[in-house]
A and B are shown apart, each in its own frame.
Chain A
Amino acid sequence: GIQVEQSPPDLILQEGANSTLRCNFSDSVNNLQWFHQNPWGQLINLFYIPSGTKQNGRLSATTVATERYSLLYISSSQTTDSGVYFCAVESTGGFKTIFGAGTRLFVKA
């Protein structure tokens, strides 16, 4: 099955810093999503981005499907950005969603 690898596994930032999170996947996918899991466990969808680039405020994402990777950019980080960021892909066979292990982000005030 598809393998999803996220890097780095852990990241500590000073408030105001920028960061790039990476997601590599091993095969063609139907879709790719980025999620943020807050300290209470709630998963919030950030981007649905099977290809191309999207931006939402301080966050943006780029997926290069032909090279099988996606990047999540966080600019001017805030303490509320802390949590775990997951990349999830759906195989071309349909329905089976595979999550990466996540990047745990801590933003210091």
Chain B
Amino acid sequence: SQTIHQWPATLVQPVGSPLSLECTVEGTSNPNLYWYRQAAGRGLQLLFYSVGIGQISSEVPQNLSASRPQDRQFILSSKKLLLSDSGFYLCAWSVRGPDTQYFGPGTRLTVL
């Protein structure tokens, strides 16, 4: 069966520090991968999606970036965090083509 992992589960970082969040998927090949952010009490906003290694599409201009160094690994990064980067970051995967998305447990990021 397929599983999706995210780490860390929680993170507190000072403004201006770098960020690296990792997401890995097990039990499937060539998945579509997604990064979302959820602000407190609000819906999810798609940040990045990837259809293959090295193929990243950005949906929202920001100081975040994403990379896919391996087929089932998706990384969210920032060189300098802003207060507005605080939120709940969720990674998701789906099979190719329109289909349901499966979400990881998320990372709660607080930028102070």
Contacts and interface: CB of A to CB of B under 8 A. Distances in A.
B49 interface: yes
A56 interface: no
A86 B41 CA distance: 12
B43 A97 contact: no
Nearest to B108: A41
B90 A43 contact: yes
B7 interface: no
- Please report whether the interface of chain B is mostly helix, strand, loop or mixed according to DSSP: strand
A33 interface: yes
A48 B101 CA distance: 9
Interface in B96-112: 98-103, 105-106, 108
A101 interface: yes
A42 interface: yes
Interface in B50-75: 51, 57, 59
B44 A45 contact: no
A50 B100 CA distance: 10
Given A30-B98, A50-B98, A90-B98, A42 B32 contact: no
A23 B51 CA distance: 28
Nearest to A46: B100
A58 to B, nearest CB: 20
26 contacts: A30-B98, A31-B98, A31-B99, A35-B103, A41-B38, A41-B105, A41-B108, A42-B103, A42-B105, A43-B44, A43-B90, A43-B103, A86-B44, A88-B44, A95-B51, A96-B46, A96-B59, A97-B101, A98-B46, A99-B44, A99-B45, A99-B46, A101-B42, A101-B43, A102-B42, A102-B43
Interface of A: 30-31, 33, 35, 41-45, 48, 50, 86, 88, 90, 94-102
Interface of B: 32, 34, 36, 38, 42-46, 49, 51, 57, 59, 88, 90, 92, 98-103, 105-106, 108
